[in-house]
Amino acid sequence: METDTTSPDALRASMVDKVRTMGHAWRSEVERVLRQVPRHEFVPEADLETAYHSWKAVITHRFEDGASLSCASAPYVVAMMLDQLDVQPGNRVLEIGAGTGYNAALLSELTGDAENVTTIDIDADVTTQASRALQTTGYGGVRVVTGDGAAGVPEHAPYDRIIATVSPWDIPEAWWNQLAPGGRIVLPLRWRGQARSVAFSEQEGRLISDSVELCGFVYLVGDDEGERSAPITEDGTVGLHWDRDQAVDPSVLKGVFDQPRITAWSGVTIAGDESHDGLWLHMTVTDSRTCRVNAQSDVSADVCDPIAPLRSPALVEGGSLAYLTSRRQETENGARWELGAIGNGPAAEELTERLCDEIRAWSSARDKRPTVIAYPADTPDNELAATPIEKAHSRLVLTFDDKLSTAM
């Protein structure tokens, strides 16, 4: 008898199998609910193959300018964050960013009761669609709220688990207040130009991470007060992104690419399918000058040649900068890419050598992740484990010191 490999059930099973091979849905209960909930019914405008593609998001709602506002996150990302959240039966859960309602359905299965789940979104069209899908699929008990996600939903607090499927630059005070003592919060937090899905547990008034994973999400609406960006070329084709607590003045960087270029190489190589992304995370721990440079696709490599044009780590010091680059090398085992740094400006030599030092330090322990500790904004300096990244509602400390992180 032939097996139908195109049915929703078969495609869903294949999706989960692929997500598992990617290292996600390692919690048995997460695998179970992914196999159980019909994802395609939450994205009815998508064909079945798209609905069950293991690493593609399905955009369901856009701003008038065409930017995506809401989507069903890629299944591997959904699985990754649910692994991080560790929902237990009976947990009360708040989701920031309703999306299609699919994640709320999964959370309903994990907690064992749809009435334990509250999801909020600022856009009424999104919540209307999510409510309809949840009703249709048997999860009508989920509370779907239209409102500002940054404010949470205090009337149903406290929550044992909070998950954000929109990316904040800071941790809103309301989320701190609505999280139960000892609870967990998972959010795609942004700092130093990059974003990570960070799983925090509440410990004596602080949030301490035990998982930090690469991710990318639509920004939390209205949460742009701390992240800065500006062009650093006259034609606006190269830009810089940094945080408000960094001493960056984009006006003094104008014309920096007209200055002599210095290139330095680290001796560290990677294969074509090997990620270098952990380097950026490492740099955010060890050098407070870390930010992001982005170059449009038509920018000549003679002007700016970052390893990834739209998203590359950089170091900035006054009117100088250095950014990550690479060059191809042929070896007996095939092509590899050597990582290095290109710098411009008076401090280019120091910055490029510093970036190469960072590459070598990261390369010696590529899988190591820092602990992220979030303190309330009024925490005095003498109670911090290290120099913080200053945000509006929190002081963020990143450390590779296991003794500091476990002593909190």
Domain ranges of the chain: 8-214, 227-363
Amino acid at residue number 117: V
pLDDT of 80 reads 97
pLDDT of 67 reads 46
pLDDT of 66 reads 47
pLDDT of 1 reads 45
- 162 near 94, Cβ under 8 Å? yes
- 188 near 223, Cβ under 8 Å? no
Per-run averaged pLDDT (10 residues), the chain, 408 residues: 76 97 97 97 93 85 51 91 98 96 98 98 94 97 97 97 95 96 97 96 96 86 80 96 96 95 97 92 97 95 95 97 96 91 98 98 94 96 93 95 56
- 54 near 19, Cβ under 8 Å? yes
Dihedral class, residue 94 (left if φ above 0, else alpha if ψ from -120 to 50, else beta): beta
pLDDT of 216 reads 79
Catalytic residue IDs = 70
- 161 near 184, Cβ under 8 Å? yes
Residues whose CB falls within 8 Å of the CB of residue 299, separated by 6 or more in sequence, listed in order = 237, 238, 309
8-214 adopts what CATH topology? Rossmann fold (3.40.50)
